[in-house]
Amino acid sequence: MKITPEEIWSDLLKIREKAPLIHNITNYVVMNITANALLALGASPVMAHAENEVKEMVSLAQALVINIGTLSNHWISSMKKALYKAKDLGVPVVIDPVGAGATNYRTKTVKCLLGIHSPSVIRGNGSEIKSLAGENSNTKGVDSQISAIKAINAAHDLSLNHNCIVSISGKTDYIIKGERKIGIANGHSLMTKVTGLGCTASALTGAFLAINPSAFCAATHAMVIMGIAGEIAAEHARGPGSLQMNFLDALYGLTKEDIKNRIKLVNLI
Amino acid sequence: MKITPEEIWSDLLKIREKAPLIHNITNYVVMNITANALLALGASPVMAHAENEVKEMVSLAQALVINIGTLSNHWISSMKKALYKAKDLGVPVVIDPVGAGATNYRTKTVKCLLGIHSPSVIRGNGSEIKSLAGENSNTKGVDSQISAIKAINAAHDLSLNHNCIVSISGKTDYIIKGERKIGIANGHSLMTKVTGLGCTASALTGAFLAINPSAFCAATHAMVIMGIAGEIAAEHARGPGSLQMNFLDALYGLTKEDIKNRIKLVNLI
Amino acid sequence: MKITPEEIWSDLLKIREKAPLIHNITNYVVMNITANALLALGASPVMAHAENEVKEMVSLAQALVINIGTLSNHWISSMKKALYKAKDLGVPVVIDPVGAGATNYRTKTVKCLLGIHSPSVIRGNGSEIKSLAGENSNTKGVDSQISAIKAINAAHDLSLNHNCIVSISGKTDYIIKGERKIGIANGHSLMTKVTGLGCTASALTGAFLAINPSAFCAATHAMVIMGIAGEIAAEHARGPGSLQMNFLDALYGLTKEDIKNRIKLVNLI
């Protein structure tokens, strides 16, 4: 399927109309901004991590987003339970491997999760994606030390191994499924100075997966929306504080014209 | 007691002067906005959930707010300990049954807490309140699928069974104690696009309980203040991001005239 | 070494250039604002608390910040492990004793941590510092009931006992090392109405420790930057909501002239 402003707008309208329930098992740092971004987009967020309820919550949800940003053993147990349930029910899954490559614990946890069930989308920065493909990644804490473009080969392999989409965020974002690749040159450099926007991209990807059966399109649409909202936000920002606020306002107010006028796709060979 | 702008203003002045300590055992998503809202109102927030210290913290506090938004077993143990201590000491309690009706785990947890001690106020949305009264609630994650008005009968029964106030938030908020009922038509629809404003309403209810011995008045005053601050915030908001920021500014700057000019009570038969 | 605007500016440039990795084991309430403040300053934040990874994360970091704001037993184990590793590797440490004096659990936890390893800096409010020196502190929840100046004697003893810097925040901030003392009269009263700015001061102190070998200078530089960013933020704030946003923008945009024109040091005898 081709990526067009019309299809992106149509998906956005569907999210606003249906308000799909997105179940997030995510990190403490970004829970608030993630929930607010999903609400601003038009989706219904729920954050729930108790082992006793994750299965029930997954069964109510239209997508599951697992983010390992501040993981610990109890949370990993819940992530696994939720993932098994999503696999059983066919609920689409996004995995965000925050900080994979920085510590063994993180890399191993993500590999374990990927072993249970191949998600629809893995979304991370270049370092994280490289580390999952077994390459030296130089992840620095949770920041990427390498550009997204250098992770394209790793993403290619990862997407084939797990039969999933790999979404790499960076100056240009890349959506990869084997030989199929697209780049998105939207966004603004000030976005790297706000914590949790990568995690937010994963959550928004979940919202698009909830209403679009093509994971490639859903992942692409989400990153276009992220980038455009970020650009609009940056235009009136005096720094990262006002960018964060404006980003939620921009997501909420996004129009068809914004998408048409701003979308910057990069077709890759 | 009658609800008047003068009494609400008098309570607000008391909070600003005395800065009562409000002990919150609440969810990860809203801790920051809740603490900031209590500070903006004039109260002193503390977030503490360790089993080893909740009793001591309750004994320092003028009100206890229990919110099950991101619960897990360890947290439930702490909530119980805190509740027993509040019961012993007569510290007023608010329970916010976030997501009750969505999963059995949540519904059961709230019923268990209510079995230990009847709080001064139960504050939730329509779906949550219906689920606690044993009715089918259709809670969708943590969002309400039914309007507050449809939960009035459930709230009536719940308030009598637990000898407490039930505060239902929605387009119109309702404060219920058996036959006594009042509606508050303040607020703004954009508030539903910001996460944690329901939880914030519960926390502010705790602050009013700390300085007003009438739980009915405290619950009503808190919802009037919430609604008016939300309205003022929405007037200059471009979306949910600026609404959230403006809400804290509005709470902080609220005047007697704001209350007098904006209060919209609905007396119910 | 003398404290000068030039030295502070030079440190700020180093942080912006090197983006040191600051490992935070901190509380749920402030994780987002802390991470955003570190990013706005120019540092790289990472929040990680799992027992399985804290040692590895400390070994990647240029500073470790331990904050007990919402502690529980699992977290204390991780704090200890991280602290032992930082001691082994010589990674500079900041300890923020949030709420010490309010409950025994908090006071005991901080004393236990101090027994493992003397940090480079202890940063707290007056009540917290007094409680660590064994004096009656009247900590009210997490707020200070006493002014910073009344804690100077306690800070003097504490700094000698643990051979570290004590940084007390208040209307005037004080940096103490035995007989060496300096006051910083920057900042704005509205900052007390925003949650987590004390915790943010501790995190920023970590960032300055990462690039300045003098803990006294690092602690002082951090508090000057906090205060000046707060002042700039307050000038255009309509309340605590906009102050919080403006603070991040101000940190990000801080210039050499801001420091030169605004710095207010108080030399103490």
pLDDT tens, A105-155?
999 999 999 999 999 999 999 999 999 988 776 677 777 767 788 899 999
Q: At what angle do helices C31-41 and C5-18 cross, to 10 degrees?
A: 100
Supply C55's token pair: 């040692």
Task: Write down how long chain A is.
Answer: 269
Contact C21 A245 (CB under 8 A): no
Residue A83 in this model has a pLDDT that exceeds 80: yes
Q: Which of residues 131-170 of A touch C (CB under 8 A)?
A: 140-143
Residues of A in contact with C65 (CB under 8 A): none
pLDDT tens by residue, A20-55: 999 999 999 999 999 999 999 999 999 999 999 999
Structure tokens of B139?
């809670």
* Residue B76 scores a pLDDT above 90: yes
Inter-residue contact C124 to C84 (CB < 8 Å): no
Higher pLDDT, B212 or C146: B212
State residue C119 phi and psi, 5-degree precision. -75, 170
ipTM of predicted complex: 0.95
CA distance A200 to A223: 10
The mean of the pLDDT values for chain C is 95
Angle at C36 between CA C212 and CA A79, to 5 degrees: 115
pLDDT at A194: 97
What is residue A232's predicted lDDT score, i.e. its pLDDT?
98
The whole-number average pLDDT for the span B41-57 is 96
Instruction: Specify the pairing of strand C173-177 against strand C165-169.
Output: antiparallel
The model's pLDDT over C1-40, given as tens digits with 9 standing for 90+, comes to 789 999 999 999 999 999 999 999 999 999 999 999 999 9
C245 at interface of B, judged by CB pairs closer than 8 A: yes
Question: What integer is the mean pLDDT of B180-205?
Answer: 97
pLDDT tens profile B157-180: 999 999 999 999 999 999 999 999
- Summarised one tens digit per residue, pLDDT across range C171-218 is 999 999 999 999 999 999 999 999 999 999 999 999 999 999 999 999
DSSP string, chain B: ----HHHHHHHHHHHHHH--EEEEE--TTTHHHHHHHHHHHT-EEEE---TTTHHHHHHH-SEEEEE-TT--HHHHHHHHHHHHHHHHHT--EEEE-TTBTTBHHHHHHHHHHHHH---SEEEEEHHHHHHHTTS----BTTB-SS-GGGGHHHHHHHHHHTTSEEEEESSSEEEEETTEEEEE----GGGGGSTTHHHHHHHHHHHHHHH-S-HHHHHHHHHHHHHHHHHHHHHT-SSHHHHHHHHHHHHHH--HHHHHHH--EEE--
In the predicted model, is pLDDT for residue A184 greater than 90?
yes
Give the phi and the psi of residue B203 in degrees, each rounded to 5: -65, -40
Rounded to the nearest 10 degrees, what angle do helices C240-253 and A240-253 cross at? 120
Q: How far is CA A199 from CA A95, A185, C81, C111, in A?
A: 10, 19, 28, 36
Residue range A8-29, pLDDT digits in tens: 999 999 999 999 999 999 999 9
pLDDT at position B151, please?
93
List, in order of start, the domains of chain A with CATH numbers.
5-267 (3.40.1190.20)
Backbone phi and psi for residue A181, each to the nearest 5 degrees, phi listed first: -145, 140
* pLDDT of amino acid A134: 84
Chain B partners of C195 at a C-beta cutoff of 8 Å? 32, 35-36, 39, 45
Positive or negative, the CA dihedral A140, A144, A149, A154 is positive
Task: Inform me whether the pLDDT recorded for C268 exceeds 90.
Answer: no
**CB B264, CB B185: distance < 8 Å:** yes
Residues of C in contact with A195 (CB under 8 A): 32, 35-36, 39, 45
User: How far from C69 is each of A207, B46, B48, C146, CA to CA, in Å?
Assistant: 33, 9, 8, 19
Q: Which residues pair with B176 in a beta bridge?
A: B166, B181
**Is the CB of residue B247 less than 8 Å away from at least one CB of chain C?**
yes
Chain A from 195 to 214: CB within 8 A of any C CB:
195-196
